[in-house]
Structure 1
Amino acid sequence: MGAHVIEEDSGCQLRWNHNSAYYPELVSDAALRGGSALDVGCGDGTLLKLLAGVCEHVVGVEVDPAAARIAAGRVADSGKVICGDFMATQDFAPESFDTITCVACLHHMPLETALVRMAELLRPGGRLLVVGLSANRTVADWLLSALMVVPARMSGWLHHEGTYQGMRVAQPRESLGEIRAVAGERLPGALVRRRLYWRYSLEWTKPFTVQS
């Protein structure tokens, strides 16, 4: 579907949840390069606003119009938000970004195609940083998922867990093993790790082209 840029001012209040728990490390990683950052599935723009504090220019993509309006207001002085489908929008040129983040959004898209598109949009030396959800397929998956219940509940209670209204929810389709396999084929050298709060992280640095 088509995409359009939304601009509207709004304040920013950080809510702790299983996604925002990873924001500090994403922002710290992006700060090493500065430059431009793209947040795929930026939601209400909380992470995007934090990235704006360490990057010269930020862009968010969000399919939900209400969330996109809030996000746009938060970065009105340092970037923009495109309301639309990341896989459909034609607003980006190849190798446009130094950092691309994607938090709890990759499972809403076709895995392989989305990873390839993000890789194309990164500049050489740029970093793709994904925090995602995976499906439980093996006995080990289910066991490790069960072991996360207590620390996740305790952390949520201690940090007064909250999310923004209207957050889209979908069940992940691929297992962590399947995600590792696709990443290994399409993003050689990618590091995929199981993390707390039923999340995994994927980190990849786009290599510089070797001149012959």
Structure 2
Amino acid sequence: MALLTYLHRFNQRHPWSHNDHYGPWIAGRVAASKAHHVLDIGCGAGNLAALLRRRAVTVTGLEPDPGMARAAAKRFADDPAVTIVEADFTGRDPHRRFDAITLVAVLHHLPLVPTLQELRSCLAPGGRLVIVGCYREAGRADLLISLLAALLNPVMGLVKHPARAAALPLHMTAPTTAPQETMKDIRAAAAQELPGARIRRRLFWRYSLVYDAPAGHSPA
């Protein structure tokens, strides 16, 4: 317990975002799909939206937290190609289809299977869904990867944020919740709703999912 307490305090002094760590990778997957219009669900303060904007024509960000939504809207106030909507996934335009959709640490806040169904229906033909999500640890493999992540986490903190922080940055203060689904649950749901999705367990308590809708895809 003493070691865990020390690591927690150290990480608070040298904070870095596990979600932002995967931002360039996500933007790269979106760019590779040649997406023009992108929906970022749970966009937070807009860090990923800024990366996506470099590769896409328009970016729409959905953010239910009022403070985060205001910060993101202010950030892109001078860019008409970026639209920030203070809403959760249910507040999206139900008639619009996107070339790419991204979610980072968002899916575990939502009902898994119904959300995957709705995400599939939001994709344009040939569109790409890119998810970096959180999962509930279960089994020896998860334990080993979690242990490795816990050891590497303070090292990454020193590299990315060498100076001591007085407080967490705004984008790391969004509400959180513990994931309920295991990797087995997520793989099973994806196999059912997103056939052909590529799923990988990743470091720092995350997994990735990439799904490409068929070119002749007709939303259910």
Length-normalised TM-score, structure 1:
0.85
Q: Is 2:210 aligned against 1:203? A: yes
Distance change in 2, residues 1:23/1:62 (3 Å) = same
| 1:47-62 superposed matches below 5 A | 47-62=48-63
| 1:1-212 superposed matches below 5 A | 16-32=16-32, 33-76=34-77, 77=79, 78-86=81-89, 88-94=90-96, 96-160=97-161, 163-164=169-170, 166-209=173-216
Distance change in 2, residues 1:36/1:90 (3 Å) = closer
Paired positions, count:
195
Moved more, 73-82 or 20-29: 73-82
What is the distance in 1 between the residues matched to 2:217 and 2:153?
A: 44
Letter in 2 for 1:104: A
CA-to-partner distance for each residue in 1:69-95, whole Å, 9 max, x for gaps?
111122331121111221x2152325x
Letter in 2 for 1:141: D
Structure number with bigger Rg: 2
What is the distance in 2 between the residues matched to 1:176 and 1:144?
A: 13
Letter in 2 for 1:82: V
Which secondary structure state, in structure 1, belongs to the residue aligned with residue 83 of structure 2? strand
Is contact 1:42-1:48 (8 Å) kept? yes
Is contact 1:37-1:55 (8 Å) kept? yes
**Any unmatched runs of 5+ in structure 2?**
1-14, 163-167
Match of 2:8 in 1: none
Distance change in 2, residues 1:210/1:151 (3 Å) = closer
Percent identity, aligned pairs only, is 39
What is the root-mean-square deviation in Å for CA atoms of aligned residues?
2.0
Which is helix-richer, 1 or 2? 2
What is the distance in 1 between the residues matched to 2:217 and 2:43?
A: 33
CA-to-partner distance for each residue in 1:118-155, whole Å, 9 max, x for gaps?
11111111110000110012233223212221122211
What is the distance in 2 between the residues matched to 1:28 and 1:42?
A: 17
Letter in 1 for 2:189: V
CA-to-partner distance for each residue in 1:24-66, whole Å, 9 max, x for gaps?
1111222231310010100011111221111111101111011
Is contact 1:52-1:75 (8 Å) kept? no
CA-to-partner distance for each residue in 1:154-201, whole Å, 9 max, x for gaps?
112211186425311100000011100100110000011000111100
What is the distance in 2 between the residues matched to 1:197 and 1:191?
A: 19
What is the distance in 2 between the residues matched to 1:71 and 1:49?
A: 10
What is the distance in 1 between the residues matched to 2:214 and 2:135?
A: 26
Moved over 3 A (4+): none
Is contact 2:125-2:217 (8 Å) kept? no
What is the distance in 2 between the residues matched to 1:97 and 1:188?
A: 19
